[in-house]
C-alpha cells in the first residue's frame, strides 16, 4: 500500500514535517512537527504547525498519531499544540528514557521530571506494529545518531528522521550523548535491507555544493548506490573513521539547548513560574 505523503519544509531549521495519509480512509499521522522559536526573543509561534492544521482540516483528515523519530536537537516539537487542535496520540521510541536520563540531569529538571517516557502517550518497541486507519506501520529502532532514534515503515515508505540525508549529503552526526557511529552503520544497513523501491523520506535537507533545490525524498536503491557515506561497499571501519573526522568539525546545533529540554518532555514547554513567565535553562560550562 502506498500512503499519501504531504511534506512541509521549514527553511529556518531545514526540517521537513509530514502528513502521512491512509489512501483507504481519512486517517493520517503527523511526523516530526516544528514549533517556531526565536532564541533571541524567546518567543514561540505556530506558523509551521498552522500549515499542517489547515491542510488536515481542509482535506477532512482524522489524526491518529503525532509521531517523533527522536528527541530533535535542532527544532522544538509542536506535538502538544497539534494534539490540542487535532487530537491523536503523541508517540516516540521507547529508548527515549535513555535520552531523558542524560538531559534531565544536565538541565537539572528536578524531582517533578521523570525519565520514564510517560510524558508521551505511547512508547514504541522495536518491531512494534500499529495502524493508521486501515494501513499498517512498523517501527524500527535505528539508533546511532541518538540512542532513541526510530524509523517508521508505512506501506511502501519509510520515514528515517535524521539517520540519513539525501545521497549527496550522507548521514547523521553521531557525537551527541549516546550516539555511536558503528551503531549508526548497523542501523543504516538494516534500513537499506528494505525493498529497493521503498520510498525514503528524510527529516532534513542541507544544500550540498552543486545543488540549489531542497530535496527530502529518495529511495532505498538510490541510497545504496549513491550515498556518499554509506553506499554499498563501504565498510564499518571506513565509515566510523570518516564519521568521527566529520563530527569533529561540526558546531553544536543553534537550538540544541532549548530543543532538547523541551523535546524530551514530548514538546511541552516548562510550566510558568510565579510571575506567569516560562523559562528555559542554559547550562554554563557544563562538561
Each residue of 25-47: pLDDT tens digit? 999 999 999 999 999 999 999 99
CA–CA separation, 148 and 159 (whole Å):
15
pLDDT digits (tens, 9 = 90+) for 90-128: 999 999 999 999 999 999 887 778 889 999 999 999 999
Predicted local distance difference test score (pLDDT) of residue 287: 62
Q: Is 105 helix (H, G, I), strand (E, B) or coil?
A: helix
pLDDT at 1 over 90: no
* C-alpha grid cell, residue 82: 497539534
Sorted by where each starts, the structural domains of the chain and their CATH numbers stand as 4-206+214-254 (3.60.15.10)
Query: What's the CA angle centered on 231, arms 20 and 177, to 5 degrees?
Result: 70
Model pLDDT, residue 213: 96
Task: Please say if the pLDDT value at position 143 is more than 90.
Answer: yes
Amino acid at each position: 500500500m502506498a500512503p499519501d505523503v504531504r511534506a512541509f519544509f521549514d527553511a529556518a531549521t531545514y526540517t521537513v514535517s509530514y502528513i502521512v495519509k491512509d489512501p483507504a480512509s481519512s486517517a493520517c499521522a503527523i511526523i516530526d512537527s516544528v514549533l517556531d522559536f526565536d532564541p533571541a526573543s524567546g518567543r514561540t509561534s505556530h506558523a509551521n504547525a498552522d500549515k499542517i492544521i489547515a491542510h488536515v482540516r481542509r482535506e477532512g483528515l482524522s489524526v491518529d498519531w503525532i509521531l517523533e523519530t527522536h528527541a530533535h536537537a535542532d527544532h522544538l516539537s509542536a506535538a502538544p499544540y497539534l494534539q490540542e487542535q487535532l487530537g491523536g496520540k503523541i508517540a516516540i521510541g521507547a529508548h527515549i528514557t535513555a535520552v531523558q536520563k542524560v538531559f534531565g540531569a544536565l538541565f537539572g529538571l528536578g524531582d517533578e521530571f521523570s525519565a520514564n517516557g510517560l510524558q508521551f502517550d505511547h512508547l514504541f518497541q522495536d518491531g512494534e506494529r500499529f495502524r493508521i486507519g486501515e494501513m499498517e506501520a512498523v517501527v524500527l529502532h535505528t539508533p546511532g545518531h541518538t540512542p532513541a532514534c526510530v524509523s517508521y515503515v508505512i506501506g511502501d515508505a519509510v520515514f528515517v528522521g535524521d539517520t540519513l540525508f539525501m545521497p549527496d549529503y550522507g548521514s547523521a552526526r553521531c557525537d551527541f550523548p549516546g550516539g555511536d557511529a558503528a551503531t549508526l552503520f548497523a542501523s543504516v544497513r538494516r534500513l537499506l535491507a528494505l525493498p529497493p523501491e521503498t520510498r525514503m523520506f528524510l527529516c532534513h535537507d542541507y544544500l550540498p555544493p552543486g545543488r540549489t533545490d531542497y530535496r527530502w525524498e529518495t529511495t532505498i536503491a538510490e541510497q545504496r548506490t549513491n550515498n556518499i557515506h554509506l553506499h554499498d561497499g563501504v565498510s564499518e571501519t571506513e565509515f566510523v573513521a570518516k564519521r568521527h573526522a566529520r563530527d569533529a568539525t561540526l558546531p553544536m546545533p543553534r537550538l540544541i539547548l532549548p530543543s532538547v529540554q523541551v523535546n524530551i518532555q514530548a514538546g511541552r514547554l516548562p510550566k510558568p513560574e510565579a510571575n506567569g513567565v516560562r523559562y528555559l535553562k542554559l547550562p554554563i560550562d557544563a562538561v
